[in-house]
Each structure stands twice: as structure tokens, then as C-alpha cells.
Amino acid sequence: MNEFLSWVLDLVQGVDPVLRTALAGLAILLETSVLVGLVVPGDTVVIVASTGVETPAQFVSLIVVVIIGALIGESIGFALGRYFGPRIRDSRLGRRIGPVQWQRAENYLDRRGGIAVFISRFLPVLHSLIPLTVGMSSMSYRKFISWTVPACVIWAVLYVSVGSAAAGTYRELADQLHYAGYLFVGIIAGFLVLVFVAKKLLHRSQERHMDRAGDGDATTVEDE
């Protein structure tokens, strides 16, 4: 296990740091732009890239580039929603997503406003639909970006920190413990399980806001 894992991590670390960082930023840009997040595993690319971090400068650079990539992707989604929203929703891919998912995104935004923008970054499907949905709503870009920036920062810091910490721990212990590889896998797997469970719980807590349109006590997009 240790030999194979060392080979994989050395392979990642052998990629030029600038290229590795740029690829992670591009992957997250694609994930957060129009509907691509449904098929591009940007989080996986970011974790893999973070295992190659060697210096504090590379660590900070990766976080910054991932944040910028996410914000560009979110902004693209917003712009496309504002100018081409209905056409995208009625496209082949939009129809494959289904009217129910689009309606749930609209309901969630109507009821929760800016909070929906923040939370949706951590929810499956919605993290791709909300930027488009916001673009089709009355919410301004300024308000949209003010809610999505902190979400993107938290997401980037969390994923890069876990990936780099797991790889760093492995490299320190690889020559001392024969099961260091299992420790690395355990850290990554444990993190992914926690993320999965957290997303499920978060989605369940927010689901009531998605299933029906807002009522009298709802927070509207204009109120945020």
C-alpha cells in the first residue's frame, strides 16, 4: 500500500505546481458554471491537487485559485441565467434535469433569498442550479456575489486543508509505519463520508423550503 500510494502522491507532486493549481481552478470553475457541476467532479480534482502541496505558498495559492475559479464559475452561471435562463432550462440538458428540480431551486431561492445562495454551495444539484436561478430572478449580482463569496472561501479552505494535511501526514509517517497508507486513505475516506452525511442532513433541514412556494413568513429575494 505504501509503495503504491507514494508513487501516486509523487506523481501528483511531480506535476508543475502552477499547472496543478491552474487545473484545480479550472475544474472548480467548470463545476460551478452552468450545469457542468452535475458531471465534472471538481471537488475530487481539488483534493487530488492539494495532495501535491509542498510549501505554505503553494497551499495559499491553491486556495486562492480555487476560490477565484469557483467565483468565476458562479458568475458565469448567474450571467447565463440572466440572459439565457429560460432557453437553458428548456434545452435538452435542462429538460433532463426535470421541471421538479428547477421548481425546487426557484422555491428555495424565493423562500430563503441570499441564505439559499450560501447554503446551496454545499448541496448536490442545487449548487449548479442556484446561480442560473438567481440570474433569472430579481436578485442583483452584487447581492448574489456577497453571499457566494464566503461559501466558496469555506469550501476551498476545507477541501484543500484536508487533502494537504492527509498527504503531509502520510509523508511524515510513511518510513515509520507500514500502515501509513491506510491512515491516509482513512483520513480522505472519513472526510468524504462526513461531507456526504453533512450534505444529507443539510439538504433534509432545507427541504421544506424547496417543496412549496413561499408563504407569508418566507424571506423573499427582494428582502435579502
pLDDT tens track for 140-159? 999 999 999 999 999 999 99
Note whether residue 214 is domain-resident.
no
Mean pLDDT on 62-72: 95
Mean pLDDT on 179-189: 81
At 97 the pLDDT is 83
Q: For residues 170 and 128, give the distance between their C-alpha atoms in angstroms, rounded to a whole number.
A: 34
Note whether residue 61 is domain-resident.
yes
pTM: 0.84
At 37 the pLDDT is 60
Q: For 6-10, 74-78, 133-137, which range has the lowest pLDDT when averaged over its residues?
A: 6-10
Q: Torsion angle of alpha carbons 124, 128, 132, 133, nearest 10°?
A: 0
Q: For residues 166 and 162, give the distance between their C-alpha atoms in angstroms, rounded to a whole number.
A: 6
Residue 125 region by backbone torsions, left for phi larger than 0, else alpha for psi between -120 and 50, else beta:
left
Residue 117: domain span: 2-209
Our count of domains for the chain comes to 1
At 219 the pLDDT is 46
SS3 125: coil
Note whether residue 218 is domain-resident.
no
**Contacting residues for 36 by C-beta, under 8 A, at least 6 apart:** 30, 73, 128
Note whether residue 217 is domain-resident.
no
Mean pLDDT on 24-28: 91
Note whether residue 222 is domain-resident.
no
Res. 178: pLDDT tops 60: yes
At 212 the pLDDT is 63
Res. 71: pLDDT tops 60: yes
Cell of 123: 448541496
Note whether residue 200 is domain-resident.
yes
At 95 the pLDDT is 85
Q: What is the mean pLDDT of the chain?
A: 85
Note whether residue 215 is domain-resident.
no
Note whether residue 104 is domain-resident.
yes
| 176 vs 90: which has the higher pLDDT | 90
Q: For residues 86 and 84, give the distance between their C-alpha atoms in angstroms, rounded to a whole number.
A: 6
